[in-house]
Structure 1
Amino acid sequence: MTNPREPVVANDRVYTMRELNQRTAEVLRQINEDGRPAVITRHGRFVALITPLADRDIEAALLDQILESTGSREQLIGHRPLDTARTTSEVAEELGLTLPDYPQRRID
Structure 2
Amino acid sequence: MALEEPLAFEETDVVTMRELGQAPAKAIERINETGRAALVTRHGHPQAIILPLANARIATTVLAKTDSRLHKSVTAADEEMGTKGAVPASEVAQALGLKSPR
TM-score under structure 2 length normalisation: 0.46
Higher helix fraction (1 or 2): 2
Q: Relative contact order: is structure 1 or structure 2 higher (C-alpha 8 Å, sep ≥ 6)?
A: 2
- Structure (1 or 2) with the larger CA radius of gyration: 1
